[in-house]
Amino acid sequence: MIKFFKNIIAFSSVFAFGVVFLISVQSFILSRGNNFKLPHGTDAVILGHSHASCAYNDTLIKGVVNLAEPMEGYYYSYFKLKQILRYNKLKFVFVEYANNQITKYADDRIFGEYIGNQFPKMLAFIEPRALIKLGLKNPIGVAKNLPVALQMNLEFMVEGSGDYVQAFWSNDHISDHVMQDVQKKMKTVQNDASKSGIITNSYSVSEMNLFYLAQIANLCKKNGIQLYFLRAPVSKYEHLPMESTFQEILNQEFPEVPFIDLKDFPVVDEDFADPQHMNIYGAKKVSVYLNELIEQAIRTHNLTIDEFLNHH
Amino acid sequence: MLFNSIDFAIFLPLVFLLYWFVFQKNLKQQNSLIVVASYVFYGWWDWRFLSLILFSTLVDFTVGIGLSKTDEKRKRQILLWTSILVNLGFLGFFKYYNFFLDNFQQVFRLFGSEFRAGSLEIVLPVGISFYTFQTLSYTIDVYKKKLEPTRDFIGFTAYVSFFPQLVAGPIERATNLLPQFYKSRIFDYTKAVDGMRQILWGLFKKVVIADNCAQYSDMIFNNHQDYSGSTLILGAIFFAFQIYGDFSGYSDIAIGTSRLFGFDLKRNFAFPYFSRDIAEFWRRWHISLSTWFRDYLYIPLGGSKGSKWMQLRNTFIIFLVSGFWHGANWTFIAWGLVHALFFVPLLLLNRNRKHLEIVAMDHLFPKFRDLIGIGITFFLVTMAWVFFRAENIQHALEYFSGFTRNPFMLPEVRPMLVFAFLAFFIFIEWLGRGEQFAIAGMGLKWHRSLRWSFYLFLALVCFIFAGQEQEFIYFQF
């Protein structure tokens, strides 16, 4: 029995080492530059979760690539940006600073229930220490998603296009669905939300997400990149949690980061696919507007952002 | 609980440690642990159906006791039929009720009248066909006085619900497995290591071969109208490997897991795709089911005794029942019928027991004649799988008719990674075809580092492809 256990432990150790080795090899191979080259003329990227991925159509915004992905916490955005910066020279980074990114609910997207959403696409680029942090938070979730990530990456290496951004981070989430029967839908959304604990009387803050938002700010600073926070429009039916804390964090933690708040952008119900997410029609309006804002208030400084927001 | 899940990866070591370290000195406690573990294992999927297993166990245990108390033929027959009716009644209700109802309604409609009865919205309890046959074998053997009825309820419950083979076999005979619950088990290093090797190979078959082939066979079968004939043939081949990897993989994990606990289960697959004719294929495919049907249906019907017509009748019955056992759909009956038709020429020519030995046993390569035999048999089996995989007969016929669309062009679907794994898999299976499972003897004489590297390679490949956690096909049977 002792011999059996000795062998099991020895083999498990070798196996664990093998998994780490595999992750490292995949990471090394995948991190090559041509996997991450953004289109010529790109000087800015947008990062964030589904609000951003649905609201900004980057084909309508000059020089900008929208890398936002549904369910993406800042933890993943940070490593995504780091990887992009290794092979691209950017001038601006836009990060979707949304209310639900600061609530505790954001933890679910990083290491909780929705870990499977972004973790596999990002595994090869997460730093070891950060990976261990994630493993300590949710060992089962990480263990379940490690093979998913390894398989996905292996298949990409063998059969993929050679463009990781296009394969996994491309912004292709804008729906042509038009939100209908809003009241009924809202009831469902709110019921779901209250069941899952999203809507509570008192929210707490996702420290992990905010830590990595600060890391994004530091990374931009270090690389001489101007960081902007964005907030995409949401429908009038959407509840914006923790607004005062949201503003407080913005002013106290990120006083140097300009905030482009499109919360009050004039929209109608038909601009949304659901109460939280814009559709192709809403995205067109917002993207054209954002393109103009970037041209006039960021690239050329004809106007300040506030002036642009007030005048347009 | 799936064998290829994190849950099982935690469950198995936990039960193993309790079994060998906490309860090792008391056989009753060890058997009780097996019962509890088995019920947890099954209840993980749906605890409500545990009552079915428990009821089935109680009925057969009681019938067994009853049989031991009487020699009166009539009373014994009543007891036997009670067990058969209860067990097959459950199976019929959960598995075949809607099928018979639909077909009755269609027949009535054909004659212009209406037969009204509501179909049932019921879930098929996982593995019901397996444990029903297992427990039936006990009662029949006791009735035939081939086996002493047990008075050890815990041991009998453990036999019926033994978690490694509960949901998808091998279907164990009471004569083989039940006595193992009466004897105290001693940890055997060689047996345990062998079990680990078999689990590893079973996992490879399931998560690497079956699940990867499933991805493409599903895609091709579900969109068959969009593909050329060559791709459809490839889709059928993918399914052939999917079902083999899936089912024999499950059996390997079940047998390997049992060995960790000191039990020996019967072999269920013996490299069936290296068979040289259909008869040999059926001696090597799902052995526990085919021998069950042979012993409890074919032989009582007269078996191979009697006239050729009787033999033909029995052959058709056994293949049709075997097909129907797999599921309540005409596709399974068609699958059985097709196999019966493949088998008949061999029976008529008295060539159904021609290939009893392992192909090219002392050679690396088969003879040309054997190779042709293997190729033809694989082709026939693969064609029959189309019925097995299709949603309905119409789907199967459409799939076959699609074979004529550009059958010689390069298939549109060419997953290189899957091809590479299949080539590796066939190579290893061929090398190990003389063993109980492909890697049973492989590398035992190699240097330890080389042997471990081989196992590590298999384990890592399994890990990489383990993320899908797909169910085993045979769970639905």
Of A185-194, A302-311, B286-295, the range with the lowest mean pLDDT is A185-194
What mean pLDDT is predicted for residues A142-158? 90
| Res. B194: pLDDT tops 60 | yes
Q: For residue B306, what pLDDT band results from cuts at 50, 70 and 90? A: confident
| Res. B19: pLDDT tops 60 | yes
Whether the complex's predicted ipTM is more than 0.85 is answered with no
Closest-CA distance of chain B to residue A11, Å: 8
What would you measure as the largest C-alpha separation in chain A, in angstroms? 79
A-chain residues near B470 (CB < 8 A): none
CB contact under 8 A, A150 and B464: yes
pLDDT of residue B340: 95
B-chain residues near A144 (CB < 8 A): 6, 467, 469
Among A1, A8, A151, the residue with its CB nearest the CB of B464 is: A151
Residue with tokens 């199976």: B91
Strand partners, A277: A274
How many other β-carbons are positioned within 10 Å of the β-carbon of residue A113?
14
Secondary structure element (H or E) that encloses residue A218, with its range: helix A207-222
Strands A272-274 and A92-96: unpaired
Tell me which residues of B are annotated as active site. 326
What mean pLDDT is predicted for residues B449-464? 94
Q: Percentage of chain B with pLDDT > 90?
A: 71
Edge-to-edge strand ranges of the sheet holding A92-96:
A64-66, A44-47, A92-96, A226-231, A259-261
Q: Chain-wide mean pLDDT for chain B?
A: 91
| Res. A12: pLDDT tops 50 | yes
B-chain residues near A22 (CB < 8 A): 460, 464
pTM equals: 0.85
CB contact under 8 A, B452 and A18: no
| Res. B381: pLDDT tops 70 | yes
Q: For residue B473, what pLDDT band results from cuts at 50, 70 and 90? A: low
Amino acid at B342: F
Residue A227's φ and ψ, nearest 5 degrees, are -95, 140
For A257-296, the pLDDT digits (tens) are: 999 999 888 888 888 888 888 888 999 999 999 999 999 8
How many other β-carbons are positioned within 10 Å of the β-carbon of residue B432?
17
Secondary structure element (H or E) that encloses residue B216, with its range: helix B211-222
Report the SS3 class of residue A64.
strand
A-chain residues near B464 (CB < 8 A): 22, 147, 150-151, 154
| Res. A106: pLDDT tops 80 | yes
pLDDT of residue A194: 56
Secondary structure element (H or E) that encloses residue A310, with its range: helix A305-311
pLDDT of residue A162: 77
Q: Give the span between the Cα atoms of B25 and B35, in whole angstroms.
A: 17
Strand partners, A94: A46, A228
pLDDT of residue B11: 95
Asked if B139 and B83 count as a contact pair (C-beta separation under 8 A), the reply is: yes
pLDDT of residue A182: 60
Amino acid at A208: M
Among A3, A11, A19, the residue with its CB nearest the CB of B463 is: A19
Give the A-side interface with B, CB within 8 Å.
1, 3-4, 7-8, 11, 14-15, 18-19, 22, 120, 140, 143-151, 154-155, 158-159
Residue with tokens 């027949």: B107
pLDDT of residue A184: 54
For A17-34, the pLDDT digits (tens) are: 999 999 999 999 988 767
For A52-81, the pLDDT digits (tens) are: 999 999 999 999 999 999 999 999 999 999
Residue A260's φ and ψ, nearest 5 degrees, are -95, 95
Written as six digits, the tokens of A220 are 């931009």
For A240-262, the pLDDT digits (tens) are: 888 888 999 999 999 999 999 99
For B70-115, the pLDDT digits (tens) are: 989 999 999 999 999 999 999 888 888 888 888 888 888 888 887 7
CB contact under 8 A, B456 and A1: no
B15, B222, B237, B397, B401 from B225: Cα distances, Å: 49, 9, 17, 12, 10
Convert A131-156 to b/e letters by CB count within 10 Å (16 or more is b).
bebbeeebeebbbbbbbbbbbbbbbb
| Res. B471: pLDDT tops 80 | no
For B217-267, the pLDDT digits (tens) are: 999 999 999 999 999 999 999 999 999 999 999 999 999 999 999 999 999
Q: What share of chain B is helix, strand, coil (3-state, %, to 5)?
A: 70, 0, 30
Of B189-203, B341-355, B418-432, the range with the lowest mean pLDDT is B341-355
CA closest to B464 among chain A residues: A147
| Res. A201: pLDDT tops 50 | no
| Res. B468: pLDDT tops 70 | no
| Res. A101: pLDDT tops 80 | yes
What mean pLDDT is predicted for residues B349-358? 86
Q: Which of A144, A151, A157 to mutate to test the interface with B (most CBs of B within 10 A)?
A: A151
A-chain residues near B465 (CB < 8 A): 147, 151
